């Protein structure tokens, strides 16, 4: 999952590479995204590198390369790309996603599926998961891939630098395997659940907040079990 600015920057770099053969300068990227300083571009590029979207060719200037594009980004030929500017398709979905108590979809839900809303998960200190599988939430099918999914409501502000805010609904793909750097639902000591970025450090696991004011939580590897990976979020305005 990318934030809006991360997505915009990735699209801009990809378009610039196709048109010129080399990556844009930090000044060009700053102007393209209407940012006030180049430090914001540094943070966005670091986040895209961490997520495997961008890479660098070492010992060369202006040597960014696009390693992959988001699954929901249309692939267009270079001439079509030049003729028409890229359209941003947000992966934060706006709308009314009120929980429902019925498992029956209506005709208007044909482009959506219903996921169980397991309750409110802390994006701050870990809390006990509220597994109320009777509450359902409608989710656009385009946000989901293969596998089994569920939804959780975020509580707290420790993931705000990843674009995840208090009250957001996060979409989780169930699974027990995650790569370091991914945002996961982690079960700590078999009874507390939290949403954090996973870092493996030898025999230890760090659960890192995306908030510079907060510190990572360090545990021995046997105390942490991955319950699923973040694949998207929905926000009601």
Active-site amino acid positions:
158, 196
Percent helix, strand and coil across the chain, each to the nearest 5: 25, 30, 45
- Cα separation, 139 vs 152, in Å, equals 12
Backbone angles phi, psi at 46, to 5 degrees: -60, -40
Q: Determine the 3-state secondary structure of 109 from DSSP.
A: helix
Backbone angles phi, psi at 176, to 5 degrees: -110, 5
Contact 236, 96 (CB under 8 A): yes
- Cα separation, 224 vs 207, in Å, equals 9
Contact 226, 185 (CB under 8 A): yes
CB-count exposure of residue 130 (10 Å: 0-12, 13-18, 19+): middle
- Sorted by sequence, the CB contacts under 8 Å of residue 154 that are 6+ apart come out as 120, 121, 123, 164, 165, 166, 167, 168, 169, 170, 195, 233
């Amino acid at each position: 999952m990318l934030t809006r600015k991360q997505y915009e920057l990735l699209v801009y770099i990809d378009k610039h590479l196709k048109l010129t053969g080399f990556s844009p300068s930090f000044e060009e990227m700053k102007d393209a995204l209407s940012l006030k300083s180049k430090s914001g571009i540094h943070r966005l590029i670091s986040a895209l590198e961490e997520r495997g979207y961008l890479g660098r060719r070492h010992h060369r200037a202006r040597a960014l390369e696009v390693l992959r594009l988001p699954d929901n980004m249309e692939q267009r030929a270079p001439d079509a790309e030049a003729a028409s500017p890229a359209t941003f398709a947000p992966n934060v979905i706006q709308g009314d996603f009120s929980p429902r108590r019925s498992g029956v979809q209506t005709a208007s839900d044909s482009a959506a599926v219903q996921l169980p809303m397991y309750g409110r998960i802390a994006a701050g200190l870990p809390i006990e998961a509220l597994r109320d599988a009777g509450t359902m939430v409608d989710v656009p099918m385009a946000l989901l891939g293969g596998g089994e999914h569920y939804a959780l409501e975020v509580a707290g502000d420790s993931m705000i630098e990843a674009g995840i805010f208090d009250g957001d609904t996060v979409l989780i793909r169930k699974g027990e395997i995650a790569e370091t750097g991914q945002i996961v639902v982690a079960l700590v000591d078999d009874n507390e659940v939290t949403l954090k970025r996973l870092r493996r450090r030898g025999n230890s696991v760090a659960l890192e907040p995306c908030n510079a004011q907060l510190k990572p939580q360090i545990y021995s590897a046997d105390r942490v079990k991955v319950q699923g990976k973040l694949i998207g979020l929905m926000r009601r305005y």
